Amino acid sequence: MPKEVVAIGKKRLIFREYKEIPLKPNEVRIKSRLSAEKHGTTLTIYRGLSPFNEKVYDPKFGLFFPKESGRGWKVSFPMHLGNMTVGIVTEVGSAVNRFKVGDKVYGYLPIRQTHTVSEDTIFSTPTELSDEELVCIDPAVVALMAVREGNVKIGEKVAVFGLGAIGLIAVEMAKVSGAILVVGVDPIEKRRKLAQRYGSEILFNPKECDVGLKIREATEEKGVDISIETSGSYQALHQAIRAARYGGTIVPVSWYHGEAKGLNLGEEWHLNCQIMVSGARVESEPYRDYPRWDMKRVYETVIQLLRQNRLNVDGILDPVVKFEEVIEAYRMIDEEPEKTIKLGVKYE
């Protein structure tokens, strides 16, 4: 029987067998080739640090409430892991007309050996794109939203805090948008090296210096026009504010959790008339520039940029492990983040 990996509790993963169910008329069966994880969101839940540990979210009011309120959505176990998967169609239902056996497809599918899903939930793969590019579409759409929300234009100076998959692609997106300087900030050396390959001219390790000060010194004491914060660290968000010039823009991208330790909005942010704009969550439609821009256009733009070779994802999937090694890989990305960028899982 095929297997999947699931979380059964905080930092508790298992392989679980499952049965293949008969296809409904509109369903397809897929054999997985490559999956990738979403480190920020999934690891926050995996570590038991998300706001859903203590609260539930009521979409009607758009508010969090205590769990005992008995309302809203909450995280529950067992929970599937994984973000995007590329695979091959092995079987189609009687009413399926978008796909045939042998087609390569991709979508938001968890880490498991096969998938049985409605044909409307997956996508055809552009022939020019590799499996690695396809599973990096998710961080790329978030990076695109961040750069657009920051309003990066020709001649701007940009700092990107956090050089995971989203931050690295944001470096590239900022350069594509015309930024004349992109500063990359991350404590992990392998991520800084990749950011340099992607176009970041200046790089800082926040554990070794006062990043806000260093960025201002590198920009004639003015600071950058836009700070994009992708790490989920409140301390990084505070430094992103310190690094931004008077009247500059700060774009918090991450899913933050816990108390805002290290963030003081009564300091530079209060005095320097900066704009803080959160709008990089792709699922939160309508966007500020709707109807010109919607989710469909965001995804189409990323695919077009990849097709035109204006975005590069080489090196982002690191480590890439076999399916049988994924539980140990989770322990590594949790406990030894200096060895990782974005987890990839191969099935063959």
pLDDT digits (tens, 9 = 90+) for 55-111: 888 888 889 898 888 787 777 788 899 999 999 999 999 999 999 999 999 999 999
Domains in the chain (CATH in brackets) are: 3-131+315-346 (3.90.180.10), 138-276 (3.40.50.720)
- φ/ψ of residue 115, rounded to 5: -140, 140
Average pLDDT in the 164-176 region? 98
Residue pLDDT, tens place only, 14-60: 999 999 999 999 999 999 999 999 888 888 888 888 888 788 888 88
- What pLDDT score does 68 carry? 80
Collapsing DSSP to helix, strand or coil, 132 comes out as helix
First to last CA, the chain: 16
Cβ proximity of 165 and 149 under 8 Å: no
pLDDT digits 0-9 by tens, 242-279: 999 999 999 999 888 888 889 998 999 989 999 999 86
**The amino acid at 245:** R
Would you say residue 167 has pLDDT above 90? yes
Q: Determine whether 232 is exposed, middle or buried from the number of CB atoms within 10 Å of its CB (0-12, 13-18, 19+).
A: buried
Q: What is the pLDDT of residue 72?
A: 76
- Comparing 235-239, 275-279, 298-302, 317-321, the range with the smallest average pLDDT is 275-279
Q: What angle do CA 16, 135, 96 make, to 5 degrees?
A: 75
Beta-carbon contacts of residue 270 (< 8 Å; ≥ 6 apart): none
Q: Cα separation of 291 and 81, whole Å? A: 33
As a whole number, mean pLDDT of residues 316-323 equals 98
Selected residue with higher pLDDT from 189 and 72: 189
Burial of 208 (0-12, 13-18, 19+ CB in 10 A): exposed
pLDDT at 343: 97
Show Cβ contacts of residue 242 under 8 Å, excluding neighbours closer than 6 positions. 211, 212, 213, 215, 216, 223, 267, 268
pLDDT band at 284 (very low <50, low <70, confident <90, very high): confident
Mean pLDDT of the chain: 94
- Per-residue confidence (pLDDT) for residue 128, from 0 to 100: 93
Q: What is the pLDDT of residue 24?
A: 97
8 Å CB contact between 23 and 92:
yes
Query: What proportion of the chain, given as a percentage, has pLDDT over 90?
Result: 79
